[in-house]
Chains A and B, each alone.
Chain A
Amino acid sequence: MSVWFWILVACAAAFLTKLLGYLVPQKWVTNARIARVAGVLTIGLLTSLTVANTVATGQELVVDARLGALVVAAIALWFKAPFLAVVIAGAAAAAGLRLLGLG
């Protein structure tokens, strides 16, 4: 139940944020500082999500098959693989490493 509550909060926040862009005065469009904060925030959050999903297990830092998935995904991205291929490569790497008994 509580998860539903936070899902709906997140959905409402997302829609209102999008709508805000259509409602604020046009001069805000030229506010480069707001655009920069939004840009840096996006980089920071995605980085943190990547790192946390790679090494965090609860409050512990753990090195396991997920680190292999990260490396393989980076290689795939380096070679300009499409998003879905990158995701599948990450899954295959983690599953493969576990099959070998690593992590």
Chain B
Amino acid sequence: MFNRKPLIGISVGLSVLMVGCAGTPEDNERLVEARSLYGQIENDTNVVRSGPAQLRSAKTRINEAEELQEEDATDDKIEHVSYLALRHTQIAHEQGKQAKLQEEINSAEQRREEMMLQMRTDEAQQARQEAQQLRREMERLQAEQTDRGMVLTLGDVLFGVNEASLKQSGEQTVQRLAEFMREYEDRRVRVEGYTDSTGDAAYNQELSERRAWSVKEELTERGIDGDRIEVQGFGEAHPVASNDTASGRQQNRRVEIVISDQDGNIQSR
């Protein structure tokens, strides 16, 4: 118990001695903070690049505060200059952060542009693929490209003589058309009936309409919405061949199915 007292005495004495040796009074808190922050940022490339002048101001003020401390200047004077030193250092720090963030923004924006370009390329490729697919489907339908759009012709042989109903081979074609219309939901069709010029014109008109209607019925039976199918009979009008020969007349007896563009528009005659 008793031998502790001298020990305490010695340690107190030593501390006093150490403080005495340090010579300067305790460093100002803000100056300590400024110096420590300055140490963190002085070699930071972003800070150096963005604000060398600001960094210099910070250094100047830190040195000034240190000199004031050494000169034993008044506390409020040291405090003031230390305050300025800390603020200058903090501002330099912020400028460095901004430079780094700005770099991040620039590189991110570049990456975004690259992605947008990539996306446009992908979209163009997709559109090309879709167009190719459509062409294949049209070929399967045996549709022909005309100035009215894609036209599918159901020849006379697909119908019974003077009859509106389709033969089985005609139904196959309609089946393919129905599949096409299910696949391309925005496409519409106009079914147009035509005859040759033999016989009564009124009868021919009626026959052309009935044949067109029967095609529409075949399509609706296969689940195609009737709103997507227009029907028109043209009778003897618009022959595609001479009515003077048997083969020409056979070509004129037909049903044409005009397929709309992708917006559902069909060019009328």
Are A and B physically bound partners? no
Chain A contacts to B: CB under 8 angstroms? none
